[in-house]
Structure 1
Amino acid sequence: MDMPHEMLSAPSAVLMEKMVMGGSAILRDDDSLLRTVFFSVLRHHHPNLARKVDVIYALAQAWVSSGEDSDFDMLEKYLSGLKPEESILVASAFSHMLNLHNLTEDVSSSEREHAIRLGEVEAPTRTTNRSLINLTTNKGVSPEALYKQLCEQQVDLVLTAHPTQALRGSLLKKYASIREELASLHTKRLTKYEKIECLEAIKAYVQGAWRTDEIRRQKPTPQDEMRGGMAYMNSVIFNMIPIFHRRIDTALANLGQPRIPLDHSLFKFGSWMGGDRDGNPNVTSTVTRDVCVLARLEAANAYFNVIESLMFDLSIWRASPELKEFAEAIANKDSRDAARIREERKMRNYSDFWVPATVTEPFRVVLAEMRDRLYTTREVLRQCLVHPKMNVGAVLLERGAYSHISELWEPMKLMYDSLIQTGDTALANAKVLDVLRQMSTFELSMMRLDVRQESTRHTEVVDCITTYLGLGSYAEWDEATRVEFLLKELQSKRPLFPPGMDMSPDVKEVVDTMRVLAELPSDSLGAYVISMARTASDVLAVVLLQRECGVKDILRVAPLFETLDDLTNAPATMTTLLSNDWYRSHIKGMQECMIGYSDSGKDAGRLSAAWSLFEAQEKIVAIAKEYNVKMVLFHGRGGTVGRGGGPTHLAIRSQPAGTIQGCLRVTVQGEIIEQQFGEPEVCFSTFDRYTSAVLEAVMDPPPSPKETWISTMHQMSNISCEQYRAIVFKHKDFVPYFNKATPVSELGGLNIGSRPAKRKAGGGVETLRAIPWIFAWTQTRMHLPVWLGLGEALQDAIDKGQLPVLKEMYEEWPFFQGTIDLVEMVLAKADPSISMLYEKMLVPSELSYMGELIRSKLMIAKKAVLTVSGKSCLLQEGTGSESKKMAQAADLEVKIALRAPYVAPLNILQCICLRTLREFEEKGEAAGGGYNPTDPEILDLLSRDPNKNPTTVQPIVAAMYDALLITIKGVAAGMQNTG
């Protein structure tokens, strides 16, 4: 295979030099290699098409280099001449090449992270070890204080099913294998033959990806989403947790400090997959039960494997008296039924150790019993999946299965202590320590499930009860009356829930969910999140309903404040709750509040939302402190900048001082799960960044904003919100323009999530979920939700002579600097010429002025951002103290440039497909154009969708629709890590 690749034989010095240069050389080399491999596959299957793809790529490169309209017109004209079936394959080709390019970025980042840890490349202060050194050396923090903080610190990462991962799991796995092979070319010393075999493996995976249907033909179920998230737990996260803790222990040892306590984990994991029922009718009480059982089953499988592995390792005869006594008790019990146990273990197909171990091998005696109980646990959980009426918590206790992590932890800790006592410290601090770390982190649930429901659904349930009992309509009561009623019932010992009460389907589903929660093991459950929470009664109602439905260990209730009004009113709501003696006693000094980035951004624009979130956090934490309550903030961030996304370290360090008190919860959504946990090296870096950032946020908090900064932000926030809403919600032609100029109406066909794109049918932007709102603007390369309103707000401050204040804020205030830098990054990826193409092809002439208006506002935003940051162009390189930061910007510029020739053809094809499909919808049968292919291969290509009947759906419609969906996925890949 003739594929030259300079990096195959490059010495490490060359690699390190390229790392220091920002990794751009490695990116270019790897991009060229994978493109060459892909073209070899494409030529093998479609030689004529490969020539056309080659021409298209060359035309796209020419336009990217020149920026000339004539070059763009040539590219558009060539793509317009493709046949429908060619459009599918060309879209697929460029989509695959973009995803392959993204792998090269992953490998480059991973290599750089590894080089940083080796000390071969200078690191930014975003690793825990660097933070420890910086805090002790430059900030005067004592090692003892840092150790104490780490012993109390915890980050809870909550994986959600929010549909922004456009790639199918089948493709993700193949791409992961390509990434692994590509990394081997850089990191391993391979022989000539091994290099050839590595390249052949890459080609095989590329070919497998090319022959895989890119489009999800069915919507995933919530259970499917949960299994997708769990795959990362099993393949990467479960194994990386002990490795990361081991590294932290080593860093602490360098400071003369002991290891982190064995029963403390720096991370916990949660999930919304199968628990988030807000606007998703597919998430039912049965689904919630299923995903909890599935998660426990995965945890039992994982522990079964590590325990069985330990049985081979711990062939130790010497033990502490305590362990000997424990093992003897087990052995005596087993000896009475040794024959049955032997046969049973054979039937279970254990790897080895069927015969009961003798007390001369005490570790194996204990581990064998643990393995047996884990096997039983798995069998019971499988039965629970088959029989939905089983009470999960009760049956686990009845059958002798594990129902609480302490049952596993205590014998494992006993073995660890025994090894320490007998001087076998190295053995204790090897695999046994790792298993204890895993147990501390994942317990028996792997990741605890949060339940989320909209506030009005609980109001409906309580209203049903009060109406049935003749107490009046709860829904019609004012807030004071509701709170008084709820608190009275919460302090009453009599049951409120009347037997035999008639319930509507919606009310019954809420009640059924509560009753399922009562039957699940409490350690499978996390928080109960109330979306659209507005009042104290929203929280109290959920506490009451849990109690009435038999939930013994009542889930902590976290109100979610999302819209601008909700964020503004949040302090008053929390004051009402925390000032009540009964409620403070109930929460035992700990309250959780969730703040929503996605809906607040859609409601008010990014700048106004960011400031409202900042202020709400400060006020909520201050109120909690007043009542001696620890406030844990749950950050509902999305993956894109428009939904609160951004680099982890920057996001955490930009929070108000004192709001991160060592505990942090944050959502990890969609494609971000793959980006942060898809590969071990990257997973390690993700843990490192979270730990480092939270440690610094507590031990070296950012400065509190000056009064001039606060007043300036108030002023800009108001103007930004007014400007944003004037366009998005008040301009009569905005929604019609949005519906025509973007593929928002067609996004549902992606089948990337189990929930609908809208909370309710009809309506405008207010009914649309935040994800399709962002996704649609990303496709047209305008990224409007990120910057709309910001330019006018900044320019107004500049016109008022406040530029010196803005520059001071940018230089000294992490919150403001982070906001501006993220917007700058998104502006660098915005492309007005692409949006003009959508407008030219899709928008009626009477609405085209809206596009001109929006693009003029984009230019205002660009100019204002550059004025504040002091640059002459976006992502401009700098010198002096800014050189490192600007080097990162230059690296981003290279990434944008390398992606551009892949993305532009996809945008053009998307416009062509949208125009064709919309014309067909308007004109009916006549738009088919007589396109009736007879080639079996083409017909096979056009009939992959089982949901489209080939006798009723014309081939051109099938072709254009498939091509459209592929372009949407491709552009999403091209805009990865952006707004």
Structure 2
Amino acid sequence: MPTSAKQLLRDDDSLLRQVFFNVLRHHHPNTANKVDVIYALSQAWCKSKDDGDFELLEKYLGNLKPEECILVASSFSHMLNLHNLTEEVANTQTERAGRMGELTLPTRSTNMSFIKLTNQNGVPAQKIYETLCSQTVELVFTAHPTQAFRQSLLKKYARVRGYLDELHNKRMSPYEKIELLEAIRAQVQAAWRTDEIRRQKPTPQDEMRHGLSYFQQTIMDMVPTFYRRVDTALANIGLPRLPLNHRLFEFGSWMGGDRDGNPNVTAGTTRDVVVLARLEAVNAYFQAVETLMFDLSIWRCSPELKALARRLAARAVAADPGRVAEERKKRNYADFWTPIAANEPFRVVLSHMRDRLWQTREVLHQCLINPQLSVRQALLDTDSYLDVQELFEPLHLMYTSLLSTGDESTANHKLLDTLRQVQTFGLSLMKLDIRQESTRHAEVIDAITRHLELGSFLAWPEEQRTSWLLGELAGRRPLFPPGIELSPDEAEVVTTFRTLAELPTDSLHSYIISMTRTASDVLGVVLLMRECGMTELLKVAPLFETLDDLHNAPGTIQTLLGSEWYKGHISEHHDGVQECMIGYSDSGKDAGRMAAAWALFETQERIVAVAEQHGVRLILFHGRGGSVGRGGGPTHMAIRSQPPATIKGKLRVTIQGETIEQQFGEREVCFRTLDLYTSAVLEACLDPPSAALPEWRELMNQLSETSCKVYRSYVFQRPEFLEYFNLATPVGELGRLNIGSRPASRKQTSGIEGLRAIPWVFAWTQTRFHLPVWLGIGDALAEAVEQGKLPLLQAMYDEWPFFRGLLDLVEMVMAKADPKVTSMYDAKLVRPELQALGDELRAKFGATKAQVLAIVRQDELLEDPSNGASPELDEKIRLRAPYVAPLNVLQVQTLCNLREFDAAGSSGPRAGYQPSEAEIIELLSRDPHRDGKHPFQAAMDDCLMITIKGVAAGMQNTG
């Protein structure tokens, strides 16, 4: 980061901290003084790293009253989130300066990719155009619960971010500057006075509405803006605009469709979220059409448009102009109530479209109210939009008409933007994926085979299952016998398929089968779709998650594509495309980060090769999480480090949890996200990394095997590890956060095997240890170095994007870790006889750090400014540290208090506690679960939730 940018970051951090302190002093002067002291103590320790300074911080925080703990924790949490806004603004300012030519940035924009590919790589401009016109990035929003902050706070923070950016980006008078600072103060104060704790779990419908808000605020507007920039960049190298029928991006969703281990997602839920998304799309197009009606008052037009306008105008006259005008008046249109004369052809066509959009919206409202209605049939039975081409074609006709009459500037203004939106988002806005665990389908089929007295499907060997399924798929007999008895879980699976049959096909994308192990898992879903009345069958995508499943994936794909029936099926229904999903989160939890990363790399290569052998195109769906422990990391690095020839212009990837806010929460950030994905996929096709050398692969196999062995020897084979994990981290308390609609575990289990990857990673993040990212890697690297392979490891780091990306991410996460903080958790929370395990793990952390530094040839972490994570990350970590440390200390103290209170019950030493400040009493009274809860327990619960949210914000990725 340039010096000026670093100074901007520090100045903004100081400004927002001062604004917050002023708000805090206004409401709680005594607390503000204590927060000031705590911040100074924390700064002193972060600079000195002296044990004495840390003990002073612990002691001061330990003397706070319970009610003060809440306010102090909330103060540091708010300051940390305000600081994170300054990072986002600094990123935006740096990107903007780069686009204006004031800074030289890494090649991470589409325009710079064009320049690099043509000037440095000698790629013909026409080849770039053809590649761009065939590539598509599909971004799939999930409800994975890692966004800890309420939407109410996110919106207020977003306004502060916007005001702060405006402060740097706009010339203003002293009065305007004062007014802008007052606006910042107003939002900071409103955020401070908002209850930051989510008091009840969101429903899947709530999660979907939250996801839709990003389309309202940024995505719908920024997509056509980004297309304009791409068109301009293409013009700069002598190329035409992107074709109007091509989309660089598609959007998908798992919100309300992901039922894997989430009992709250039912068939009715899936139906609701489909209708909600279509309503959002129709509302956006309705506003766009009304705007165009004001703009396109032009009378000159092409003969084709004139003919269409005359037909529509005659239809309005035949329908009685007075009745039409009265109906439009009731609808409270902005204007143009009466039928429009044929001499304004654009307005005639747009008026007809507006009426149909209104009708479509009304039908969707009725579907939302009446769950018995078939959504698809209700739209078919009325004059509603069901096929997006009905919306796109008249807009395209108007566009070509304007071009034919020489009105290019008008055509390429708002009408072009609307066409881009319709082409990108369709009538579904974002297509819903359905995800279910593989055994749930097998149980339904087992119920059928047992009812038909064919035996138990679950008891059959895989070869028999596959043979029987293919036989049924090739035949035509109905499979569901009347009167079959199904368990509630089995009935829900069947109801879901039947509900999908009644939804518009363009609202659905793929059916994902989690924990896929065999070909019969896929064939069973295809059979159930057909038997439940789905006339247009969805793509069925196996999801390979564990290490064993990844290793077995090529064999599974080979069995599927080796079937003539199945190859014919995907050729007929899916244009010869097979989708396959690979899971980063569960594979990392199962085998550790290094072994999982290598297994994912090799699996991609192998299944793509299998598909090529059968003449099938395979699209990989990357199930990446937000954190490094779940496959997250900087977008450009992640894409560029994929195996060569596995992307081929098509990328499908999940956007999870807090990553949605980080990538789409603000207009400039949204633009940058679109830019990064486009440029990275383009370069992956036209400038792919070199194939890995045989000696690199051989060493990676060794590293993977060793790291996995060490990782599992601790996580799954040390009998004391589970207890240590439960005591040393707040994993048992994470469920109180109410940050998602689904449980922390897929099934009722006390072991790590059944725990979801999110709480597994999230819990270690809280303690600043990040164990899932690095455990096992140090041992693997040390073994290779002892064998004299350090030069080879260094060459792999220098020349192989995959290996460099892996180590850079480990380095980034280790820079955020703090063994001193981790040892505090152990000392206060872990039984003495288990603390040796913590000491052992911290020693492994230190050894891993030393091995990584030796390979990247640095004395300190993040010392090299070319680190792939973020050149300025070291500065960001330093600025965050004084806010995070007090939250860690408070979290440990709160966990101690809660666990002691739970153990002692109402007879414990805190039984006589009563909150002493009216503000805290009022805050605690907002908890709907407070009945029967002791005031001390309620205060500690709130304090714990606030520290968890705060630490999560302090550890978020900034790459």
TM-score, normalising length from structure 1?
0.97
In structure 2, how many angstroms separate the alpha carbons of the residues matched to 1:528 and 1:375? 31
> Are 1:845 and 2:832 matched, yes or no?
yes
Kept in 1, the 8 Å contact 2:469–2:527? The answer is yes
1:382 match: 365
Residue in 2 aligned with 1:732? 719
Is residue 812–residue 869 contact of structure 2 (8 Å, CA) maintained in 1? no
Question: CA offset at residue 439 of structure 1?
Answer: 0.7
Post-superposition Cα deviations, 1:459-496, rounded to whole Å, max 9, x if no partner, equal 00111111111111111111111111111111112211
Which of residues 50, 55, 59 is equivalent to 1:68?
Answer: 50
After superposition, the Cα gap between the structure-2 partners of 1:22 and 1:803, relative to the gap in structure 1 and judged at 3 Å, is farther
Aligned letter for 2:397? L
**Other structure's SS at 1:345 match:** helix
User: Secondary structure of the equivalent of 1:325?
Assistant: helix
Q: CA deviation at 1:935?
A: 4.6
Which residue pairs with 2:185 in the alignment? 203
What is the Cα deviation at residue 888 of structure 1? 7.5
Q: Residue by residue, what CA displacement relative to the aligned partner does 1:65-86 show, whole Å, maximum 9, x if unpaired? A: 1111111000000000001110
1:968 and 1:376 mapped to 2: Cα distance? 47
- Which of residues 111, 121, 132 in structure 2 aligns to 1:129? 111
CA distance in structure 2 between the aligned counterparts of 1:835 and 1:229, rounded to whole angstroms: 35
Which letter does structure 2 place at the counterpart of 1:307?
Answer: V
Matched, 1:240 2:222: yes
Q: List aligned pairs for 1:630-709, cutoff 5 A.
A: 630-709=617-696
CA contact (8 A) 1:662 1:695 kept: yes
Deviation at 1:929, TM superposition (A): 4.2
- Is the 1:319–1:419 contact (alpha carbons within 8 Å) kept by the matching residues of 2? yes
Residues 273-293 of structure 1 deviation map (CA, whole Å, 9 limit, x = unaligned)? 000000000000000000000
TM-score by length of 2: 0.99
Deviations along 1:951-975, one digit per CA (max 9) or x if unpaired, are x211110001100000000000000
Structure 2: runs of 5+ lacking an equivalent: none
Q: 1:818-852 deviations in whole A, cap 9, x for unaligned?
A: 00000000111110000111111111101100110
**Are the equivalent residues in 1 in contact too, given 2:547–2:590 (CA < 8 A)?**
yes
What does residue 316 of structure 1 align with?
A: 298
2:404 to 394, 417, 421: 421
Given candidates 466, 473, 476, the residue that maps to 1:483 is: 466
**Secondary structure, counterpart of 1:268 in structure 2:** strand
Q: Which of 51, 76, 82 is matched with 1:100 structurally?
A: 82
Letter of the 1:506 counterpart:
D
Pick from 530, 542, 564 the counterpart of residue 581 of structure 1. Answer: 564
In the alignment, what sits opposite 1:784?
771
Give the drift of 1:947: 1.3
> What one-letter code is carried by the residue in structure 1 that aligns with 2:6?
S
Amino acid at match of 1:169: Q
2:133 match: secondary structure: helix
Match of 1:15 in 2: none
Equivalent in the alignment of 1:157: 139
C-alpha distance in 1 between matches for 2:867 and 2:257: 42
Aligned to 2:6: 24
Amino acid paired to 2:897 = T
**For the residues of structure 1 that align with 2:867 and 2:508, how far apart are their CA atoms?**
44
In the alignment, the residues of structure 2 paired with residue 476 and residue 737 of structure 1 have an alpha-carbon distance, to the nearest angstrom, of 38
Secondary structure at 2:32's aligned position in 1? Answer: helix
Following TM superposition, by how much is the alpha carbon of 1:21 offset from its aligned partner in structure 2, in angstroms? 2.6
Which of the numbers 197, 201, 209 marks the counterpart of 1:227?
A: 209
Q: Could you say what secondary structure the match of 1:231 adopts? A: helix
Q: State the distance in 1 between where 2:74 and 2:902 align.
A: 24
What residue in structure 1 maps to residue 577 of structure 2? Answer: 590
- 1:975 equivalent in structure 2: 955
Q: How is 1:10-409 mapped onto 2 (pairs within 5 angstroms)?
A: 20-21=2-3, 23-336=5-318, 337-409=320-392
CA distance in 2, matches of 1:922, 1:58: 35
Partner SS state of residue 665, structure 1: strand
Give 1:887 shift.
10
Displacement, 1:528? 0.3
Q: CA deviation at 1:247?
A: 0.9
1-structure distance, mates of 2:809, 2:917: 50
Deviations 1:775-831 (A, max 9, x none): 000000000000000000001000001111101100000000000000000111110
3-state secondary structure, aligned to 1:948: coil
- Structure 2 CA distance for partners of 1:142 and 1:463, relative to 1, 3 Å: same
Per the TM alignment, residue 978 of structure 1 is displaced from its structure 2 partner at its CA by: 6.9
- Does the Cα contact within 8 Å between 1:641 and 1:978 map onto a contact in 2? no
Of residues 549, 562, 567, the one that matches 1:566 is 549
Match 2:941 to one of 961, 965, 973: 961
* Superposed displacement of residue 897, structure 1: 0.6
Counterpart-to-counterpart distance in 1, 2:122 and 2:784: 38
In structure 1, the residue corresponding to 2:351 is in which secondary structure?
helix
Give the Cα separation in 1 of the matches to 2:132 and 2:933.
61
TM-fit CA distance, 1:373: 0.5
2:829 is the counterpart of 1:829 = no
Compared CA separation, residues 869 and 706, structure 1 to 2 (3 A): same
Maintained 8 Å contact 1:826/1:978 = no
Is 1:518–2:501 an aligned residue pair?
Answer: yes
Q: Is the 8 A contact 1:23 1:891 kept in 2?
A: no
- Could you tell me how far 1:944 is from its partner in structure 2? 1.9
Q: CA deviation at 1:22?
A: 6.8
Alignment match, 1:5: none
Query: Separation in 1 of the partners of 2:907 and 2:43?
Result: 37
Matched-pair contact (CA < 8 Å) for 1:104–1:179: yes
Equivalent in the alignment of 1:925: 906
Displacement of 1:763 in angstroms is: 2.5
Q: CA deviation at 1:936?
A: 3.5
Match runs of 1:462-541 below 5 Å:
462-541=445-524
Match of 1:796 among 761, 769, 783: 783
Q: Which secondary structure does the structure 1 equivalent of 2:39 belong to? A: helix
**2-side partners of 1:934 and 1:649: how far apart?**
52
Q: Closer, same or farther in 2 for the Cα pair 1:978/1:321, shift >3 Å?
A: closer
Query: 1:160·1:272 contact (CA, 8 Å) conserved in 2?
Result: yes
Q: Distance in 2 between matches of 1:845 and 1:375?
A: 68
Tell me which moved more, 455-464 or 886-895. 886-895
Aligned in 2, Cα 1:609/1:401: closer, same or farther, shift over 3 Å? same
- SS of the aligned residue for 1:761 comes to coil
Q: 1:907 to 1:394 in 2, by over 3 A?
A: same
The SS at the match of 1:885 is: coil
Q: Which runs of 5+ in 1 are unaligned?
A: 1-18, 878-883
SS at match of 1:484: helix
What per-residue deviation string (whole Å, max 9, x for no partner) do you get for residues 207-254 of structure 1?
A: 000000010000000000000011001110011111111111111111
Q: How many Å apart are 1:926 and its aligned residue?
A: 2.4
| Amino acid in structure 2 at the alignment position of 1:310 | L
**Correspondence for 2:705:** 718
Judge conservation of contact 2:77–2:887 (CA < 8 Å) in 1: yes
1:935-946 alignment runs, 5 A limit: 935-946=917-928
Rounded Cα–Cα distance in structure 1 between residues aligned with 2:887 and 2:925: 22
Q: For residue 287 of structure 1, what is the amino acid of its counterpart?
A: T
Aligned-partner SS, 2:781: helix
Partner of residue 4, structure 1: none
Q: Distance in 1 between matches of 2:731 and 2:780?
A: 28
Contact 2:808 2:868 in 1 (8 A): no
Paired residue type of 1:766: E
Counting matched residue pairs gives 953
C-alpha displacement at 1:140, in angstroms?
A: 1.5
CA distance in 1, matches of 2:671, 2:503: 32
Task: Measure how far apart 1:498 and its partner are.
Answer: 1.4
Q: Is the 8 A contact 1:171 1:212 kept in 2?
A: yes
- Does the 8 A contact of 2:309 with 2:348 survive in 1? yes
Aligned AA (2:701): H
Match of 2:539 among 553, 556, 559: 556
Q: Which residue of 1 aligns with 2:893?
A: 912
Contact 2:67 2:915 in 1 (8 A): no
935-944 vs 553-562, which moves further: 935-944
Aligned sequence identity (%): 62
The CA distance in 2 between the partners of 1:937 and 1:235, in whole Å, is 34
